[in-house]
Amino acid sequence: MDNKEDLKKVVDQALAEQKVPHVKLKKIGAQKADVDKLTQPSKETRQEYWGKGLTYSAILLIIILVASIIGFIAVHGLATFTQNHVNVWHFLSSTDWDPGEGKNHVGALAMIVTSFAVTLLAAIVATPFAISVALFMTEYSSKKGSRFLQSVIELLVGIPSVVYGFLGLSIIVPFIRSVFGGTGFGILSATLVLFVMVLPTITSLTVDALKAVPNHYRQASAALGATHWQTIYKVVLRVATPRILTAVIFGMARAFGEALAVQMVIGNAVLMPYNLVSPAATLTSQLTSQMGNTVMGTLPNNALWSLALLLLIMALFFNFLVRLIGRKGQK
Amino acid sequence: MNPKTANKVATAGIYALVSIVVIILIGILGNILVSGVPHLSWHFLSSQASSFQAGGGVRDQLFNSVYLLILTMIISIPIALGAAIYLSEYAGDNWFTNLIRTTIEILSSLPSIVVGLFGYLLFVVQFNFGFSILAGALALTFFNLPTLTSNFEQAIDGVSQAQRDAGLALGLSNWKTIRGIVLPAALPGILTGLILSAGRIFGEAAALIYTAGQSGSTIDYANWNPFSPTSFLNVMRPAETLAVHIWKVNTEGIIPDATIVSAATSALLIIVVIVFNFGARALGNHLYRKLTAAKAS
Amino acid sequence: MQDVKDIKPHIVHFAEDEQILSTQDLSVFYGGTTQKLFEASLQFKKKTITALIGGSGSGKSTFLRCLNRMNDKIARIDGQIWYHGLDINAQNINVYELRKNIGMVFQKPNPFPKSIKDNITYALIANGEKDKHKLDQIVEESLRAAALWDEVKDKLNKSALALSGGQQQRLCIARALALKPEVLLLDEPASALDPVSTSKLEDTLKQLRSDYSMIMVTHNMQQASRISDYTAFFHLGHVLEYNTTENIFTNPQGKITEDYIRGSFG
């Protein structure tokens, strides 16, 4: 378009083309706005109140629910300390667990230690496997292979925990018994069961973490002549570290809170663990096996609620950790 | 070690660990199916559990599991759907939305035994329901809400903004747009999420042992009056599910064939979970295709 | 280089009774601080097609979406938009009624995944129209008005998604027309269409001109000159020029306008 004349020609022609006969519309033609209606509430306004109200109450219900879970368990869990005057420090530091009427022997340390032991051990064993599988799925395998592993992992997540417990009971416990002697119940069996249970959780979250690493990092690293492993180790894993940590914490949270599978293989003896193959008890296993044997409002019962409160606090703590890492990762 | 050797060693290590995982997986699935499926007979599915003899079945447990699943879904779907709609359509970027998300995260991170114990406190003890299907269904609802809500929210978020714009520009209310346009379009995702969480519920036991209870009462399948204590429909009766049954026979049960019963029940659970898993995906894909595909003629 | 803010815009004005919509110092902010539109004051003449032109990010689409409050959720708005003597952003305005009067057609055709007929009747039924006969009539009329009737009259119950892109867009226009709006906002309605569909769509719009007031965002200069009566030129969130289409294209007042128009024709 060099000069104005050409432009004018084009535009004139276009303007000329505008003149088309137009069809008069009968029924639907434009209607002048009803100005009154514009400032009046209508059916839609009411629908909107209704919709907002309904969805809002669903939200409120959830908030009330969570608040009352925390509230109820806190009230019952604190009764040990307020009504039965058990010293909190004693509860956390003593291994003397024999809460009977009148006996304030409510030292939960053995269970706390066992819970942390199985959780940490399971996480330590599972993490290298989980990262390997995740790396295999994102960095090595073909699409087909990774889709296959993906669906296997989803399936593993779906297997009910009692089934894991049953497998532990029928395979792992006898195996440990034959190798180490003793009953076969204990921290080692629980660790192995939890290892299989948290593996899919950690793996699938790690896969997400690795997928979130932008591809240009990999390309840049490869362009510098790094080997595949160097790229993975120095670039991919490093960038994904915060999210992998989150994945591990999620796995630990699952392990810490798992009740039935652990209860089935750990032996349920409230003893300070001195090795990995003797019967022990975790917070969850103790709750599971004893809650039905105590009477509401008595010390033995209150002591169990204190264990439940401890579980709740740990769940909140894991949650907090995840958020903390998330916030740091954003910076 | 030079980089090339390190690369080889690392790769070999990864392959080795992956192989171990795959072997474990195959071992687990194979073990359950091989040891369980041969015992999955019609007799097993259709006869009552025995308390101290061999040869019992899981008829009542199977029914209870299904019944609890249905009740749980009936209670949790509207709440989860409401919450999901609020989060994806109404929630602004403010402290309240943050609070909601935190709350839901907390709920999802609570161990199921804790949720079950809360249900025990509130319904079994406080409201005096006793061990009952209703208490169990409510506990399962609490356990299920976070997953279901986030599944639903994802499905709803997946509907293109253009569809919402279309509805709003026609002067429809937000609510009408959501109900009439967004939700139908999100249906495949909603159903997939629903079925996946159904699998989780079906296998859950920890939340149930102190709510629905660990033993069943005698049930009469011919009694259709839900208020009669022996009716199979009665929601106030205690009920043991398949998952609880496995736990029970292995920890406190005295039946001689506990291993066989557990293996068969485990196989049954796994099969149901697999069916749910694949069913969810197949149904989701099918509906998705149906909704988006242009009908040729 | 002169700062855009300092350029004195050339803007036409209309007598009050000729206006259908007008804006006064309309500014739009995204995310609290990012300003996308700077004090736009434009008056739109009844029963004409006004084209809004300008490069990407010039604020023309943002401006258009304000006119029936489609930006409510995502943007903060300063200034006024007048419609029948009412400020449409006022607290007491019923936004749903407003949108029924000021319809909108979007860049990408967005028919509902329903039948062709249901696409048109959906909002009508939601408004309480139950008379089947009347609904059928409206379906036919609005499809005729959108020049789609002859192509779809035999498959009204088939999915709207089976239509071609151009047909879908005309269906969206029909859907908007069925509500008898006074104003029709069009956000680059032809940008996703092939030339043949575009030309059909333009014919449709030209036919509608004597009944509706239309405001259309377009990237396509030829299109603006082919169908619009007035044209407003947006640049970096400012309206630099607003005049009859003929004047804008043949005798632009500002250097930026002229450069843009010359660069875009071609």
pLDDT tens digits along C110-123: 999 889 999 999 99
* B contact chains, 3+ CB pairs < 8 A: A, C
pLDDT at residue C242, as a whole number? 92
Return all residues near A22 (Cβ < 8 A) that are at least 6 apart: C206, C207, C208, C209, C210
Do A294 and A300 touch, CB atoms closer than 8 A?
Answer: yes
pLDDT of residue B115 exceeding 70, the answer is yes
Q: For residue A15, list chain C residues with Cβ-Cβ distance below 8 A.
A: 225-226, 245-246
Q: Which helix (H) or strand (E) holds C30?
A: strand C19-30
Do B116 and A261 touch, CB atoms closer than 8 A?
Answer: no
pLDDT at residue B222, as a whole number? 81
pLDDT tens digits along C50-103: 999 988 888 899 999 999 899 888 888 888 999 988 898 888 888 999 999 999
Q: Which helix (H) or strand (E) holds C23?
A: strand C19-30
Which residue type sits at A99? P
Residue B161 lies in a domain: yes
CA distance readout (Å), C25 to A47, C43, C80: 33, 11, 7
Distance from CA of A64 to the nearest CA of B (A): 10
Helices (H), B95-160: 95-109, 112-119, 133-157
Look up the pTM and report it.
0.89
| Across C247-253, average pLDDT | 87
Confirm or reject contact between A28 and chain C (CB < 8 A): yes
Q: What are phi and psi of B53, to 5 degrees?
A: -110, 165
| Across B173-184, average pLDDT | 92
| Across A105-123, average pLDDT | 92
Nearest-5° Cα angle at C119, C117 to C120 = 70
| Across C26-31, average pLDDT | 87
Residue B86: closest CA among B157, B36, B10:
B157
Return all residues near C202 (Cβ < 8 A) that are at least 6 apart: C190, C223, C226, C227
Q: Which of B122-131, B212-221, C85-94 has the lowest mean pLDDT?
A: B212-221
Do C209 and C9 touch, CB atoms closer than 8 A?
Answer: no
Best of C50, C72, C96 to substitute, by most chain A Cβ atoms within 10 angstroms, is C96
Nearest-5° Cα angle at A105, A100 to A106 = 100
Helix, coil or strand: residue B196: helix
Q: What are phi and psi of A62, to 5 degrees?
A: -65, -40
Do A222 and B78 touch, CB atoms closer than 8 A?
Answer: no
Q: Which structural domains are found in chain A, ordered by start?
A: 111-285 (1.10.3720.10)
The residues pairing with C75 across neighbouring beta strands, listed in sequence order, are: C30
pLDDT at residue A4, as a whole number? 64
pLDDT at residue A30, as a whole number? 62
pLDDT at residue A187, as a whole number? 93
* Higher per-residue confidence, A19 vs A290: A290
DSSP designation for C70: T
* Higher per-residue confidence, B15 vs A39: B15
Cα C65 from chain centroid? 8
Q: For residue C180, list chain A residues with Cβ-Cβ distance below 8 A.
A: 28-31
Task: Give the chain C residue nearest A40 (alpha carbons).
Answer: C94
Kindly state the tokens that stand for A5.
Answer: 């004349």
Task: Give the chain C residue nearest B179 (alpha carbons).
Answer: C126
| Across B248-257, average pLDDT | 81
Kindly state the tokens that stand for C143.
Answer: 């499809």
The residues pairing with A280 across neighbouring beta strands, listed in sequence order, are: A267
**Distance (Å, whole) CA A87 – CA A123:** 32
Q: For residue B173, list chain C residues with Cβ-Cβ distance below 8 A.
A: 96
pLDDT of residue C31 exceeding 80, the answer is no
Q: Which domain holds residue B214?
A: 40-292
pLDDT at residue A21, as a whole number? 45
Residue B195: closest CA among B151, B133, B252, B135:
B151
* Higher per-residue confidence, A19 vs B35: B35
- What is the domain count for chain B? 1
Residue B159: closest CA among B194, B185, B178, B184:
B185
Number of other residues whose CB lies within 10 A of the CB of residue C79: 18
Residue B221 lies in a domain: yes
**Distance (Å, whole) CA C182 – CA C103:** 8
Residue B24 lies in a domain: no
The domain that holds B190 is classified in CATH as: 1.10.3720.10
pLDDT of residue B294 exceeding 50, the answer is no
Task: Give the chain B residue nearest A136 (alpha carbons).
Answer: B14
pLDDT tens digits along A260-286: 999 999 988 888 888 888 889 999 999
pLDDT at residue C57, as a whole number? 83
How many Cα atoms sit within 13 Å of C61 on the Cβ side? 12
Do B206 and A288 touch, CB atoms closer than 8 A?
Answer: yes
pLDDT tens digits along C195-244: 888 888 888 888 888 888 999 999 888 888 888 999 999 988 899 999 99
pLDDT of residue A62 exceeding 80, the answer is yes
Residue in the structure block whose two tokens are 């958020």:
A323
pLDDT tens digits along B66-93: 999 999 999 999 999 999 999 998 888 8
pLDDT at residue B192, as a whole number? 86
Kindly state the tokens that stand for B159.
Answer: 């509907």
pLDDT tens digits along A201-240: 999 999 999 999 988 888 888 888 888 888 888 889 999 9
**Distance (Å, whole) CA C266 – CA C257:** 15
Q: How confident is the model at residue A3 (pLDDT cuts 50, 70, 90)?
A: low
pLDDT tens digits along C33-48: 788 888 889 999 998 9
pLDDT of residue A14 exceeding 90, the answer is no
Asked if B142 lies within 8 A of A50 by C-beta distance, the reply is no
DSSP designation for C52: E
Asked if C250 lies within 8 A of A38 by C-beta distance, the reply is no
Return all residues near C241 (Cβ < 8 A) that are at least 6 apart: C9, C10, C11, C232, C233, C248, C252, C253, C254, C257
Do C103 and C109 touch, CB atoms closer than 8 A?
Answer: no
CATH of C4-110+185-264, one of 3.40.50.720, 3.40.47.10, 3.40.50.300, 3.30.360.10: 3.40.50.300
Confirm or reject contact between C206 and chain A (CB < 8 A): yes
**Distance (Å, whole) CA A151 – CA A130:** 15
How many Cα atoms sit within 13 Å of B81 on the Cβ side? 20
Residue in B32, B81, B176 nearest the CB of A163? B32
Residue B53: closest CA among B223, B221, B260:
B260
| Across B210-238, average pLDDT | 83
Residue B102 lies in a domain: yes
Do strands C34-40 and C19-30 pair parallel, antiparallel, or not at all (unpaired)?
A: antiparallel
Residue in the structure block whose two tokens are 């079945």:
B57
| Across B173-200, average pLDDT | 90
Q: How confident is the model at residue A88 (pLDDT cuts 50, 70, 90)?
A: confident
Residue B34 lies in a domain: no
Kindly state the tokens that stand for A30.
Answer: 């434009």
Number of other residues whose CB lies within 10 A of the CB of residue A324: 12
| Across A292-306, average pLDDT | 87
